Amino acid sequence: MAKQIARHDINDELYIFKQDNSERWYARFILINHKKWLCKSTKKKDKDEAIAMAHRIFLDHQIRHENNTLVQSKRFTDVADRVIEKLEVELEHGGGKRTYKDYIRALENYHIPYFSRTFITSIDQEAISKFVEWRKGRMNKPPASSTLLTHNAALNLVFKEAIEQKWMIAAQVPVLSSKGEAGTRRAAFSEEEYDAVLNEIYESEQNAHSEKTRQIRELLYDYCEIAVNTGIRPGTEMENLTWKDIEIKTQGAKAQFFIHVTKGKTTKYTGARKIVCKRDVIGALTRLRERFTLRTPNQKLFLLANGEPTPQLGKAFEKALQSSGLKDSPRGPRTLYSLRHTYITWQLLAGTSMDVIARQCGTSTAMIEQHYSHVKPEMFADALSGVTFDEEKPKPNTQSAIKRQKRTQAKYEKQFREWEAEYKKRGCI
């Protein structure tokens, strides 16, 4: 606890003092017809300047007391905790916005740790400026404008609560700036880079030092194939998929696959969404079916062969990135989430509209515009350059190739017919 090391009495109602934990003087005073002693920092190191400031503080508080505009302040933590509690109640009862969770995270991770026991009325423009510098260091980078908007909205909720409870007045609320870094591009893979990562995962599976490690890498391979061919968010969305979430529609040797995403970042606010899968998910689904012959509709899709979930997929993927030399990219480090960015990038290059991609991925066209705008010129390379490359003409099929295609079609037709029958009978493919 801080100790008082100096004191100077100005009059019976006012004195200044200094503590061992600060070089600045504090003013302590009691107002006429007011029961409690108040304490305010003069922000002055010089004694004479502190005395002059103490007179000004005393006079200001006396006037506000007489005009009934004097408020009894609260610590920032106390007010912020009330705001968080209200936001959590709203979320629990389904009335909250999806941004409420972001507000709570901003308050808990940044504002409360910094302002903590500071009185809400002491947070002035100078305090905000110091907080901005501290936050930049904590993030190890300047925050994006979108992040600042979220932080400012959260902080303004605290100020609003303080005003409503008469712990501060509106004139005391400092100005918050939302000028930050522009939205960053998202790290993705080219087709060649993605193939290199898959090959690394496969090789590491073959050389695993234990059966459990082998199972993790085996599962990771299929996880990647489904993520990069659907755009589903790695994490909560992928990990909560069950066998009943996969739907199949067939026509002869052709099949369309759909995945129902029921849990994740946006489903609480937008509801479940139906994902259309690219054809390349067939290999992963085939391997998963072979490993889980006794699967049930409610069983999670991504389990180890022994039936257990694993939290190690992210680490295993990072090792594969490091081993293949693809961890870093011009747009930042790659992670498991880069598979989703890859899907969006590939779809844009294929000419799929942003609106369709946004609906498929459970996001907004504005987000895609912001983070993937660098892809757009490449989408129109022929028109912009005035040069169109000739497409390679496919070589005519030999008789043996035609026979192989027919056998493959017959195999798929039989396979998909069985899968559809199981889907109708058991509730999962």
The model's pLDDT over 24-69, given as tens digits with 9 standing for 90+, comes to 999 999 988 777 788 888 989 999 999 999 998 898 888 777 766 5
Identify whether residues 227 and 316 lie together within a single domain: yes
Residue 147, token pair as written in the block = 């992040």
pLDDT tens digits for range 343-381: 999 999 888 988 899 899 988 887 787 778 767 666 666
Residue 110 is predicted with a pLDDT of 95
**Same-domain check for residues 85 and 60:** no
Q: Which residue has the higher pLDDT, 4 or 97?
A: 4
Whether 70 has a pLDDT exceeding 60, the answer reads no
Residue 205: which CATH number?
1.10.443.10
Domain that holds residue 38: 4-66
**What is the distance, to the nearest Å, from the Cα of residue 150 to the centroid of all Cα atoms in its chain?**
12
Residue 170 pLDDT exceeds 90:
no
- Residue 382: pLDDT above 80? no
Tokens of 229: 């061919």
Contact between 29 and 13 (Cβ < 8 Å): yes
Domain match, 85 and 200 both: no
Mean pLDDT across 232-255: 92
Tell me how far apart the alpha carbons of residues 419 and 412 are, in angstroms, rounded to a whole number: 10
Separation between Cα atoms, residue 259 and residue 245, nearest integer Å: 5
Report if residue 180 sits inside a domain: no
The tens digit of pLDDT for each residue in 190-239 reads 999 999 999 999 999 999 999 999 999 999 999 999 999 999 999 889 99
The whole-number pLDDT of residue 399 equals 73
pLDDT at position 246: 96
Give the strand pairing for 273-276 and 25-30.
unpaired
Average pLDDT on 100-107 reads 92
Same domain, 96 and 145: yes
Residue 181: pLDDT above 60? no
Helices (H) and strands (E) in the chain, counts: 18, 7
How large a percentage of the chain has pLDDT more than 70?
86
**What is the model's pLDDT at position 200?**
94
Indicate the pTM of the whole model: 0.58
What's the N-to-C CA distance of the chain in angstroms? 67
Mean pLDDT check: name the lowest of 140-149, 151-160, 183-192, 393-402. 393-402
If asked whether residues 355 and 255 sit together in one domain, one would say yes
Using alpha carbons, list the distances in angstroms from residue 122 to 2, 39, 46, 320, 383: 19, 11, 21, 50, 59
Task: Specify if 152 maps to a domain.
Answer: yes
Residues 203 and 167 in one domain: no
CATH number, domain of 114, equals 1.10.150
Same domain membership, residue 229 and residue 311:
yes
Is 419 part of a structural domain of the chain?
no
Q: Do both 59 and 84 map to the same domain?
A: no
Tokens of residue 314, six digits? 């992210």
The neighbouring-strand residues paired with 41 are: 26
Q: Taking residues 62-81, what's their average pLDDT?
A: 77
Task: Please name the residues in contact with 319: beta carbons below 8 A apart, sequence gap of 6 or more.
Answer: 204
Q: Categorize the per-residue pLDDT at 254 as very low, low, confident or very high, splitting at 50, 70 and 90.
A: confident
Residue 8 parent element (H or E):
strand 4-11
Is 42 part of a structural domain of the chain? yes
- Half-sphere CA count of 119, side-chain side, radius 13 A: 13
User: Does residue 185 form part of some domain?
Assistant: no
Predicted confidence (pLDDT) per residue in 276-334, tens digit: 999 999 999 999 999 999 999 999 999 998 888 999 999 999 999 999 999 988 778 89
Number of folded domains in the chain? 3
Q: Are residues 137 and 254 in the same domain?
A: no
